[in-house]
C-alpha cells in the first residue's frame, strides 16, 4: 500500500536455526494504534523489534524480506541511529537512567547535539507534558528518576522517547509491570498520543487491545494469522485460530 507508514513484506526471522517469524506481510498506516496480540512465544516482541532493528543486537539473528518505513528499506539504506531517533521504544519494565528526571529527558536531545539550555528546558517540559507527567514532577526535575513510582517511571520513559521527536513509538507490554490505575494512565496517554504518532504495542491483554487500538494483528507460532480493524477482529474474526484465541479456547 502506498500510504503506509510501515510496510513489511515476506519477513522471516531466524534465531540460529529456529524460525521465529514466518513470512510476515503487514502494512501499518500513519498515526493510530496497532496492537500485536497472541500467546506467549508467538513472536510479538520479535516482530516489534524488527521495526527499529533491535534484533541487530542479538547474536545469530538472520532476517529475510523487507521492512520499509516511509518507503525506505530500514535494513538497506538507513543509518541505525537515525532509525532509532525516528522509531522510539518503551519496554515492559520502566528503565529510567540513574540520573535526574531532567537529565533522563535531556539525554537523547543532548546526544543528538542539542546543548542550548533554553532549548533543552523547552524540550524537557514539552516531552513531560506530552507524557502527562509534567504536573507531577515539575517541582522535582533535579531529583533522581529512580524515586518515581513505577507508573511515573513508565511515563518518564515515554517522555524520554518523545524527547527526540520520533514518528513511531514501539511499546512492548508497557503496562505489564504496573497496577490498574497506572495502567489506565498509560492507556489514556496512548490514546492521546495516537493523534500525533504511529504506535505499535505488544499486549498480553485483549481487553487492553480492545480499549486502545484501532487495528489488531494476531500472531500464532511465528505467523501473522489475522490483521484488521480491532472491533471487527474481536467481534467477527475471519480465521478459526483467531476466534479460538479470542474466545479463550487456547493461549
Ligand atoms: N534471543 C533469542 N534467541 C533465541 N530464541 C529467541 C530469542 N528471543 C526470542 N526467542 C524465541 O522466539 C520465539 C518468539 O519469542 P518472542 O519473545 O518474540 O515471543 P512473544 O510473542 O513476544 O512472547 P511473550 O508474549 O512471552 O513475550 C520464542 O520461541 C522465543 O523462545
How confident is the model over 185-211, as a mean pLDDT? 96
The pLDDT score that the predictor gives to residue 2 is: 59
How confident is the model over 162-191, as a mean pLDDT? 95
ipTM above 0.85, yes or no: yes
DSSP 92-130: SS----SSBHHHHHHHHHHHTT---HHHHHHHHHHHHHH
How confident is the model over 241-247, as a mean pLDDT? 95
Decide whether any atom of ligand 1 lies within 6 Å of the 48 Cβ. no
| Sequence-separated (6 or more) residues with CB below 8 Å from residue 113 | none
Residue nearest to atom 31 of ligand 1 (CA): 41
Ligand 1 center from residue 47 Cα (angstroms): 10
The pLDDT score that the predictor gives to residue 155 is: 95
25 has pLDDT over 80: yes
CB 51 within 8 A of CB 6: yes
In this structure, of 5-19, 54-68, 220-234, the range with the lowest mean pLDDT score is: 54-68
**C-alpha to C-alpha distance for 130 and 114, rounded to whole angstroms:** 20
The pLDDT score that the predictor gives to residue 77 is: 74
pLDDT confidence bin for 57, thresholds 50/70/90: confident
Query: Which of 189, 190, 242 lies closest to 216 in space, CA to CA?
Result: 242
Q: What is the pLDDT of residues 125-165, one digit of tens each?
A: 999 999 999 999 999 999 999 999 999 999 999 999 999 99
73 has pLDDT over 80: yes
Distance linking the first and last C-alpha atoms of the chain: 32
Decide whether any atom of ligand 1 lies within 6 Å of the 44 Cβ. yes
Ligand 1 center from residue 222 Cα (angstroms): 9
How confident is the model over 90-100, as a mean pLDDT? 95
**C-alpha to C-alpha distance for 89 and 47, rounded to whole angstroms:** 13
Ligand 1 center from residue 46 Cα (angstroms): 6
Task: Tell me the helix, strand and coil percentages in the chain, rounded to 5.
Answer: 40, 30, 35
Q: Counting beta carbons within 10 angstroms of the beta carbon of residue 230, is it exposed (0 to 12), middle (13 to 18) or buried (19 or more)?
A: buried
The pLDDT score that the predictor gives to residue 97 is: 96
Ligand 1 atom with the smallest distance to the CA of 204 is: 25
pLDDT confidence bin for 251, thresholds 50/70/90: low
Ligand 1 center from residue 33 Cα (angstroms): 22
Decide whether any atom of ligand 1 lies within 6 Å of the 168 Cβ. no
| Sequence-separated (6 or more) residues with CB below 8 Å from residue 25 | 8, 9, 10, 11, 224
Decide whether any atom of ligand 1 lies within 6 Å of the 58 Cβ. yes
Q: What is the pLDDT of residues 102-124, one digit of tens each?
A: 999 999 999 989 999 999 999 99
Best residue among 40, 43, 61 to mutate for probing ligand 1, ranked by most atoms within 8 Å of CB: 43
Residue nearest to atom 6 of ligand 1 (CA): 15
| Sequence-separated (6 or more) residues with CB below 8 Å from residue 54 | 89
**C-alpha to C-alpha distance for 178 and 152, rounded to whole angstroms:** 10
Ligand 1 center from residue 41 Cα (angstroms): 5
The pLDDT score that the predictor gives to residue 239 is: 97
Amino acid at each position: 500500500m502506498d500510504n503506509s507508514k510501515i510496510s513489511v513484506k515476506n519477513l522471516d526471522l531466524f534465531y540460529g536455526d529456529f524460525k521465529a517469524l514466518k513470512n510476515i506481510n503487514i502494512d501499518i498506516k500513519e498515526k493510530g494504534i496497532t496492537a500485536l496480540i497472541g500467546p506467549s512465544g508467538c513472536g510479538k516482541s520479535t516482530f516489534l523489534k524488527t521495526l527499529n532493528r533491535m534484533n541487530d543486537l542479538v547474536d545469530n539473528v538472520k532476517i529475510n524480506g523487507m521492512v520499509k518505513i516511509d518507503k525506505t528499506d530500514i535494513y538497506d539504506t538507513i543509518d541505525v541511529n537515525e532509525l532509532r531517533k525516528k522509531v522510539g521504544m518503551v519496554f515492559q519494565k520502566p528503565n529510567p537512567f540513574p540520573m535526574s528526571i531532567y537529565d533522563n529527558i535531556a539525554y537523547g536531545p543532548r546526544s543528538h547535539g542539542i546543548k542550548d539550555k533554553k532549548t533543552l528546558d523547552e524540550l524537557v517540559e514539552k516531552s513531560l507534558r506530552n507524557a502527562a507527567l509534567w504536573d507531577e514532577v515539575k517541582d522535582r526535575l533535579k531529583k533522581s528518576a529512580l524515586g518515581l513510582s513505577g507508573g511515573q517511571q513508565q511515563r518518564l520513559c515515554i517522555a524520554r522517547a518523545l524527547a527526540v521527536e520520533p514518528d513511531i513509538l514501539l511499546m512492548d507490554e508497557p503496562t505489564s509491570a504496573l497496577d490498574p490505575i497506572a495502567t489506565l494512565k498509560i492507556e489514556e496517554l496512548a490514546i492521546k498520543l495516537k493523534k500525533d504518532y504511529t504506535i505499535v504495542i505488544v499486549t498480553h491483554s485483549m481487553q487492553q487491545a480492545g480499549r486502545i487500538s484501532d487495528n489488531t494483528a494476531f500472531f500464532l507460532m511465528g505467523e501473522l494469522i489475522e490483521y484488521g480493524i480491532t472491533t471487527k477482529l474481536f467481534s467477527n474474526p475471519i480465521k478459526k485460530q483467531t476466534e479460538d484465541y479470542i474466545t479463550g479456547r487456547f493461549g
